[in-house]
Amino acid sequence: DAIRDRLPDHTVALARTPAEERAAIRDARFVTGMTLEDDLLEAADSLEVFACAYAGTGHLPLDELADRGVAVTNASGVHGPNIGEHVLGAILYFTRRFHVGARRQRRREWRHYKATELQGSTVTVVGLGAIGQSVCDRLEPFGVDTIGVRYTPEKGGPTDEVVGFGDEAFDDALARTDYLVLACPLTETTRGLIDEEAFVTMDPESVLINIARGPVVDTDALVAALRSNWIRGASLDVTDPEPLPEEHPLWNFENVQITPHNAGHTPNYYSRLADIVAENVRRFDESGSDAAFEN
Ligand code: 7N6
């Protein structure tokens, strides 16, 4: 409905079941959805654009889509406030040690515990896309030093410092970081970026926050790091594997906060998504071809 409202001059077909999807996709030039399975793609003879409803597109059959000349757009920008606020919450949760407070409360125990201050800390944000930017915006009033990590550090960014992936400056940044926020896409470069070596480099008082994709972190190395107290804790909205199996060791740590790939899900997500999709449809109309999406 949100998309129909924004595109009154277009025919918008809603496909809710696999049968409806198969029927609708034959004539569709522009499709939006979470994913596009191979068999559906086979039937998509008229498809020119697949507008993925996610910020991350690593789950799509990208080679197959490229072979068929289908342009792919993502929903970059859909997760500003939702994930920005989630990350700030996660940082403050560990800074103020709310998990320790909650445990005291459950036991009706009026006894002080050590909380810390965010002010003066160093926060590193890996990935300076729309989500990384929203995290940096929200950190602004807290008086922290920020380091950004991106492929093209020469471009600068919203952080006090910007470094590249995997070079010496990156290791140096890791060693100085109190809160490491992963907000990057899953790519060849970022898969397993936070591995045993990274955990050894990180400060034992530092906290890992992953709202990117589970495999950016080597899960076995994370469990080992937590067991050895190589880091203070972790906030994980994404895990590898996902869903996290019931018997997985990560569930057992009191200093691990787990949410079920939930950071992006708020009611406002849909209207933001509809804005992005409608804008892409307009650009598609204007271009008359998929040329508008080449970049
Ligand atoms: C899927 C959420 C994104 O990339 O991670 C989100 O937009 C998708 C459950």
Q: Which residue has its alpha carbon closest to ligand 1 atom 9?
A: 261
Query: How many Å apart are CA 174 and CA 287, to the nearest integer?
Result: 44
Q: Which of 54, 72, 86 to mutate to test the pocket of ligand 1 (most atoms within 8 A of CB)?
A: 54
Angstrom CA distances, 104 to 100, 108, 140, stand at: 6, 6, 31
CA angle 150/273/213 to nearest 5° reads 40
Query: To which residue do tokens 């068929």 refer?
Result: 68
Residue numbers annotated as active site: 213, 242, 261
Indicate whether residue 127 lines ligand 1 (CB < 6 A).
no
Write the class of the CATH domain 2-76+266-293. Answer: alpha beta
Say if residue 6's pLDDT is above 60: yes
Query: How many Å apart are CA 180 and CA 193, to the nearest integer?
Result: 12
Indicate whether residue 230 lines ligand 1 (CB < 6 A).
no
**Taking a C-beta distance cutoff of 8 angstroms, is the pair 44, 62 a contact?**
no
Query: According to the model, what pLDDT value does residue 131 have?
Result: 98
Report the atom number in ligand 1 closest to the C-alpha of 213: 5
Indicate whether residue 80 lines ligand 1 (CB < 6 A).
no
Q: Say how many Å lie between the CA of residue 60 and the centre of ligand 1.
A: 12
Q: Which of 186, 211, 261 to mutate to test the pocket of ligand 1 (most atoms within 8 A of CB)?
A: 261
Q: Which residue has its alpha carbon closest to ligand 1 atom 7?
A: 54
Query: According to the model, what pLDDT value does residue 289 have?
Result: 54
Report the SS3 class of residue 89: helix
Residues 6+ apart with CB under 8 A from 134: 79, 80, 81, 83, 84
Q: Residue range 101-114: average pLDDT? A: 97
Q: Say how many Å lie between the CA of residue 266 and the centre of ligand 1.
A: 12
Report the SS3 class of residue 101: helix
Indicate whether residue 55 lines ligand 1 (CB < 6 A).
yes
Query: How many Å apart are CA 135 and CA 125, to the nearest integer?
Result: 8
Q: Residue range 86-99: average pLDDT? A: 98
What architecture is the 81-258 domain classified under in CATH? Answer: 3-Layer(aba) Sandwich (3.40)
Report the SS3 class of residue 295: coil
pLDDT tens digits, one per residue of 47-92: 999 999 999 999 999 999 999 999 999 999 999 999 999 999 999 9
Q: Residue range 29-58: average pLDDT? A: 94
Query: How many Å apart are CA 189 and CA 151, to the nearest integer?
Result: 9
Query: According to the model, what pLDDT value does residue 167 have?
Result: 81
Query: According to the model, what pLDDT value does residue 80 have?
Result: 94
**Taking a C-beta distance cutoff of 8 angstroms, is the pair 207, 235 a contact?**
yes
Indicate whether residue 277 lines ligand 1 (CB < 6 A).
no
| Cα dihedral 128, 132, 137, 142 in deg (nearest 10) | -110
List, by residue range, all CATH 3.40.50.720 domains of the chain: 2-76+266-293, 81-258
pLDDT tens digits, one per residue of 160-215: 999 999 789 999 999 999 999 999 999 999 999 999 999 999 999 999 999 999 99
Q: Say how many Å lie between the CA of residue 128 and the centre of ligand 1.
A: 17
Indicate whether residue 261 lines ligand 1 (CB < 6 A).
yes
pLDDT tens digits, one per residue of 204-246: 999 999 999 999 999 999 999 999 999 999 999 999 999 999 9
Indicate whether residue 283 lines ligand 1 (CB < 6 A).
no
Percentage of residues in the chain having pLDDT higher than 90: 95
